[in-house]
Amino acid sequence: MNIINFTPVSAFVGGSLIGFAAFLFFAFNGRIAGVSSIASNSIIKNENRFDNILFLLGLIIGPILYSLSGKEIESVLTNSLPLIIIGGLLVGIGTKIGNGCTSGHGVCGVSRFSIRSIVATIAFIITGVITVLIFGI
Amino acid sequence: MLKLSSLISGIIFGLGLTISGMVNPEKVLGFLNIFDAWDPSLMFVMIGAILIFSPLHFIFKRKSRPIFAKNFVVPSNNNIDKNLIIGAVMFGAGWGLSGLCPGPAISSISFLNTSVYLFVLFMFLGFYLGNIIQSRK
């Protein structure tokens, strides 16, 4: 094992902002900032639909604001299209059935000491590691 | 007012995803690539987010209600069931195949990358299918 591309400071600062955004959403809207639930509910449920769509719109505006400051955003996605399609489907179905993703379970759920979220987070990280090990991307 | 706080929470969340490097699938796959060339940064994203959200949310939860909404909506389920595990495993596999999870995928929409659009499209299709699977049980 070699350590590469390690950027602990920007990771920690960005992570803190994510945590703060989740706190704002909790304090003002009383809800958990789980992106998979917000996104899936925006197409499935009428309740809070407009709030959900505005949160998603905010997610898109965030990087645009960042790039207005003149900084480059690095984003490399070179996987083949079949992997992208299967990946998208699995992420969609999996987070719907499992009630959460990296934000809802990984950040908010673990922060609330939810046993379901802790188990889910361990499960999806291990599966992610095994998948990368097998497909060697 | 709920609309405004949804939008602002989303923007800050999106900024956090950008600064942390989560919007770069290559970096996410580097985190999952533990056995080869490992980039531990994502661990610091989670630590930063949890260190902020966890204490703030516990302190705020003592209030009788959120600032704008009528009440807190927090999951109360504590059962580790089959769906949670199957869902988390499917999500982890999709995450490992693509390097994308729901938040960063939606944030990446402004990068004008066809692969991202394809992923988001199939992720939403997955939410829809997952909802059908869930409601059958």
pLDDT digits (tens, 9 = 90+) for A91-130: 999 999 999 999 999 999 999 999 999 999 999 999 999 9
What local confidence, expressed as pLDDT, does residue B137 receive? 63
Q: How confident is the model over A24-68, as pLDDT tens digits? A: 999 999 999 999 999 999 999 999 999 999 999 999 999 999 999
Q: How confident is the model over B64-103, as pLDDT tens digits? A: 999 999 999 999 888 999 999 999 999 999 999 999 999 9
Chain B neighbors of A127, CB-CB under 8 A? 88-89, 91-93, 95-96
B137/chain A closest Cα distance in angstroms: 11
pLDDT at A137 over 60: no
**Gyration radius (Cα) of chain A, Å:** 16
Return d(Cα B75, Cα A69) in angstroms, integer: 38
The mean pLDDT of B109-127, rounded to a whole number, is 97
* Contact between chains at A4 and B69 (C-beta distance less than 8 A): no
Contact by Cβ (8 Å): B25, A75: yes
pLDDT at B6 over 90: yes
Does A79 or B126 have the greater pLDDT score? B126
Q: Which structural domain, as residue segments, surrounds residue B17?
A: 2-136
Q: Above 0.90 for ipTM, yes or no? A: yes
Chain A neighbors of B62, CB-CB under 8 A? none
What local confidence, expressed as pLDDT, does residue A136 receive? 73
**Number of domain units in chain B:** 1
Q: With bands split at pLDDT 50, 70 and 90, how would you rate the model's confidence at A76?
A: very high
Return d(Cα B39, Cα B31) in angstroms, integer: 5
Average pLDDT value for chain B = 96
In which region does residue B18 sit, left (phi positive, over 0), alpha (psi from -120 to 50) or beta (all else)?
Answer: alpha
Chain B neighbors of A50, CB-CB under 8 A? 3
Indicate the residue of A63, A91, A130 with minimum beta-carbon distance to B101: A91
What local confidence, expressed as pLDDT, does residue A93 receive? 98
* Contact between chains at A2 and B37 (C-beta distance less than 8 A): yes
- Alpha helical stretches, state H, chain A: 8-24, 35-44, 49-68, 81-97, 110-111, 115-135
Q: How confident is the model over B22-45, as pLDDT tens digits? A: 999 999 999 999 998 999 999 999
pLDDT at B115 over 90: yes
What local confidence, expressed as pLDDT, does residue A2 receive? 86
Return d(Cα A91, Cα B91) in angstroms, integer: 4
A117/chain B closest Cα distance in angstroms: 9
pLDDT at B5 over 80: yes
